[in-house]
Amino acid sequence: MIEVRSLVKRYGDTTVLDCPDLTLDGAGVTALVGANGAGKSTLLTIAGRLLEPTSGTVLVDGHDVTTAPSRELAARVAILRQENNLAVRLTVRELVEFGRFPYSQGRLTDDDHRLVDRALDTLELHEFAARRLDELSGGQRQRAFIAAVVAQDTDHVLLDEPLNNLDLRHAAQSMAMIRRLADEFGKTVVVVLHDINVAAHHADRIVAMRSGRVVADGEPSTVIDEPTMREVFGLDVEVTEHHGRPVVLHFLAS
């Protein structure tokens, strides 16, 4: 369970995040959506204790992320940030193995190796396992970083725009993988998505943000309508339906 409590982040006089209360409980995929600068990454990175809030806090399974020992948190919550384009000379497998560090401290057991293999399989990275990250495309590297988070095997997984750099096939595949994390492995997944339709199709719940505030929260079918989309994205769009799920025709907006 992830509980946001009176969370505020300010830079100088500018409040970039003001989230009084938000609870994410149980297995499922929650999508964070909103325009650029809405505060999605800020919320996610604070929850992953990569950023200090100005006030308030986030609890992960009751552990306060601003005070709990980082090493303990590493076994409960995993976060992948937006920017990972570092060309470090590690193989894909080495990177994914680091996902087991919170448990193994560098000495991998058979179980660790199994989870590493599973993560490589899940992201179809086996053929690249021995390749070095600096010799991969941006999308392949992105998938390697996702695999490391999957190998970390925490109950809570926070992903900031994981589909960046991915082609259509791998984007679809990654979303299917994210669904599996929730459905098969019972994880609580929070994922920032810039494509509202991907969110509408794959998420159980959508949290829409604007100017640092949550402006809509609920199942895709309740959140996605024309007035809300106008409020969130500042765009007049037409909303239609496909297999019972809303589809936003944002590309038709004028």
Contact positions vs another protein (CB under 8 A): 45, 48-50, 69-75, 78-81, 84, 86-91, 94-95, 98-99, 101-102, 105-106, 132, 134, 149, 152
Q: Which residue is nearest to Mg ion (CB)?
A: 41
Q: Which does 174 bind (CB under 5 to 8 A by kind): ligand ADP, Mg ion, another protein, none?
A: none
95 SS3 class? helix
User: Alpha helices, DSSP H only, in 99-195?
Assistant: 101-104, 110-122, 138-152, 168-183
- Identify which of residues 96 and 190 has a Cβ nearer to Mg ion in the complex: 190
Residues whose CB falls within 8 Å of the CB of residue 123, separated by 6 or more in sequence, listed in order: 143, 144, 146, 147, 150, 173, 174, 177
Asked if 41 touches ligand ADP (CB under 6 A), the answer is yes
- d(Cα 31, Cα 194) in Å, to the nearest integer? 9
E strand segments, the chain: 2-11, 14-24, 28-34, 55-60, 63-64, 77-80, 156-160, 188-192, 205-210, 213-218, 239-242, 245-248
184 with 176: CB under 8 angstroms? no
30 with 190: CB under 8 angstroms? yes
- Identify which of residues 37 and 186 has a Cβ nearer to Mg ion in the complex: 37
Q: Which does 38 bind (CB under 5 to 8 A by kind): Mg ion, another protein, ligand ADP, none?
A: ligand ADP
Radius of gyration of the chain from its Cα atoms, rounded to whole angstroms: 18
Question: Rounded to an integer, what is the distance from CA 58 to the centroid of its chain?
Answer: 16
| Residue 69: CB minimum distance to another protein, A | 8
Q: Which of 19, 30, 40, 237 contacts ligand ADP by CB under 6 A?
A: 40
Q: Which does 16 bind (CB under 5 to 8 A by kind): ligand ADP, another protein, Mg ion, none?
A: ligand ADP
- d(Cα 62, Cα 78) in Å, to the nearest integer? 16
Q: Which does 20 bind (CB under 5 to 8 A by kind): ligand ADP, Mg ion, another protein, none?
A: none
Q: Which of 3, 7, 9, 41 contacts Mg ion by CB under 5 A?
A: 41
- Identify which of residues 52 and 183 has a Cβ nearer to another protein in the complex: 52
- HSE, side-chain direction, 13 A CA sphere, residue 141: 17
Q: Which does 71 bind (CB under 5 to 8 A by kind): ligand ADP, Mg ion, another protein, none?
A: another protein
- d(Cα 217, Cα 229) in Å, to the nearest integer? 12
| Residue 178: CB minimum distance to another protein, A | 17
Asked if 30 touches ligand ADP (CB under 6 A), the answer is no
- Identify which of residues 136 and 192 has a Cβ nearer to ligand ADP in the complex: 192
Q: Which residues bind ligand ADP (CB under 6 A)?
A: 11, 16, 34, 36-42
